Structure 1
Amino acid sequence: MRVLPAVIIAIGLVLAPAIWFGLSWLLSEEDFQGSGGVDSTARIEIEMLRQQVEDLQSRMTDLQSEVASLPAGGAGGGTPFTDDAAGEAAIWNQTGGADLDYAQVVLIADRLNVNRGLRVTGGRYLTEKLGRPREDLNDTCQPMTNANLKDKLVTERVGPIRVSMLRPAIESLKVVFENIRQADPDLYARINTAGALCVRRIRGTANSLSTHSYGLAVDLNIDGKLDNFTDGKTQLGLTIMADFFYDQGWVWGAGFRREDSMHFEISRRQLDAWIADGQL
């Protein structure tokens, strides 16, 4: 009969807004980057709820197609109704003892507000405060020649990765990774990098500098899998890590107008604090 699938569709359509409302309520400022500190468990649960909403909407579409293919009265060669959830996407594998899939791609919650209260430094501000890392720039990475900055440049292993950055950024990154290690050692073990220091002009510009040119930014990913640029989605592990970076004054590239969720850089507030302390 066509009645049962239709009833299921109706129930799903009623529940979807309710789930979405509950999810929206959970996505409050305190859940992500408020004064309450890091809550990676809450973020995981939120992302799981978001995925469930997407799954429900997808299954409603599939059920509508199945209902349309059924003949009147339920007889004949239409596609039989089933309750097969084998293809249902899930962030958490429900098998007992299974690890969380930190490389799972999820939507970035409240993307434009992930850096509340923090401002990017920007090439002009960095040049004003620190000078240029080198005078002649092209589209390839070159050595840093600014003597003051070069003296503070360090290359070493920081937690699970090896990077070249300015000393204050290295020390701050150590704190971030140690906090992640204590809270979630499985996530910590899967952190990988796509680079940090790269002294060059921003491609497509005549002479503009990025934070990478100053050794004050790092690109990270999970398991060496690069994230797609500007699609509004990212790896689950990066969304969890973002809270730890935020607490140490780092800006997450997920909040950029052109979303770049692998990118983490020092905020203007943190840069000013290091300069005031004589670290830069």
Structure 2
Amino acid sequence: MRYLPAIIVAVALIMVPVIWVGLNFALSEEDFQGAAVDSGARIDIEVLRQQVEDLQQRLAALETEVARLPAAGAGQTFQRDEDAENALLNSGPNDIIDAYAQVVLIANRTSVNRGLEVAGPDYLEAKLGRPRAVLSDTCEPMTNEALKSRLVLEQVGPIRVNMLRPAVDSLRRVFANIERADPDLYARINSSGSLCVRRIRGTVDRLSTHSYGLAVDLNIDGHLDNFTDGKTQLGLTILADFFHAEGWVWGAGFRREDSMHFEISRKQLDEWLAEGAL
């Protein structure tokens, strides 16, 4: 049995890269095309990803234990410590109790908004004007009468929002598609806010997209996501596909990752302007 730890390490070293390559292929860009995402498959993939990460942690612990073993002399054998082995093998979580709220790494984060770009503060101001003349770091009412006339406060699917009419109509379509495809996920969508007329924190006078009623923050079960950590709730990765299909940009792809944030893309804004909706 003296070679057992080394054999375990060798097998683990072989299997982890194989599983990881398979995951990267499964989560490649092709899997994110269209809104008809298979939520069950995504959950299975993310569970497997968590299991791989857990295996890597256990492997590191096992390698440490092997390094501490004394070299075997002539005629010397090692006795198995079954309690220690079981403790090591059972050190990670056995189940993902709440799959939709489970926090996972964001796969291919920089490419999640493929084909879409943000409107940006300068573009929004050039096309729509300013929502109010004077801005601060706190949310204040919209005073631009042209924009204010298109502002609506409504229940949209599972949440209540205060946004411009075209954005509300678009959001309603997104939620309708989600409800048809995955009613369990739909029932657990929660909002962290929509309209908030203020400047971007840390700037002198630059406008947040929330200032125009063209952005919404979402979460699963009311649990807020950590800002800029490269991770998000699994449910939000599923929602992102539906939003992308409707022309929304996901904040997970921002330089400063903000995965609860969804906003209208420049392309969609231009279409509404051409149609006279804004």
Q: Match of 2:131, SS?
A: coil
RMSD: 2.1
Change over 3 Å in CA distance of 1:268–1:149 after alignment to 2: same
CA distance in 1, matches of 2:87, 2:81: 18
Tell me if the contact between 1:91 and 1:101 (Cα under 8 Å) persists in the aligned partners.
no
Q: Is the 8 A contact 2:34 2:242 kept in 1?
A: no
| One-letter identity of the residue aligned with 1:66 | E
After TM superposition, give the deviation of residue 5 of structure 1 in Å.
2.4
Query: Could you tell me which residue of structure 1 aligns to residue 9 of structure 2?
Result: 9
> CA 1:141–1:86 in structure 2 vs 1: closer, same or farther (change >3 Å)?
same
Q: In the TM superposition, what whole-angstrom CA distance separates every residue of 1:124-144 from its partner, at most 9, and x where no partner exists?
A: 100111111011111111100
State the partner residue of 1:74: 78
Q: Flag structure 1 segments of 5+ consecutive residues without an equivalent.
A: 94-99
TM-score, structure 2 normalization: 0.91
* Superposed CA offset, 1:100-157 (max 9, x none): 5211110000000000000001111001111110111111111001111101101111
Instruction: Give me the whole-angstrom Cα distance separating, in 2, the residues matched to 1:117 and 1:106.
Output: 24
| CA displacement 1:220-249 (0-9 Å, x = unmatched) | 111111101111100011011110111100
Deviations 1:19-40 (A, max 9, x none): 11111222222201x3585343
1:127-206 matches, cutoff 5 A: 127-206=125-204
Query: Is contact 2:43–2:99 with CA below 8 Å preserved after alignment?
Result: no
Q: Which of 226, 230, 233 matches 1:232?
A: 230
The answer on whether the counterparts of 1:121 and 1:268 sit within 8 Å (CA) in structure 2 is: yes
Task: Give the TM-score normalised by the residue count of structure 1.
Answer: 0.91
Deviations 1:77-116 (A, max 9, x none): 89732376444236645xxxxxx52111100000000000
Flag the 1:152–1:91 CA change in 2: closer, same or farther, 3 A. Answer: farther
- Percentage of pairs with the same residue: 66
Which residue number corresponds to residue 59 of structure 1? 58
8 A Cα contact 2:236 2:259, kept in partner = yes
Secondary structure in structure 1 of the residue aligned to 2:104:
strand
CA distance in 1, matches of 2:123, 2:47: 39
Distance 2:38 2:274 in 1: 31
Structure 2 unaligned regions, length at least 5? none
Distance (whole Å) between structure 1 residues aligned to residue 257 and residue 141 of structure 2: 28
Which residue does the alignment assign to 1:29?
A: 29
1:77–1:276 Cα change, 3 Å: closer
Please state how far the C-alpha of 1:74 moved relative to its aligned partner. 2.0
Q: Which amino acid aligns with 2:9?
A: I
- What is the alpha-carbon distance in structure 2 between the residues aligned to residue 4 and residue 62 of structure 1? 15
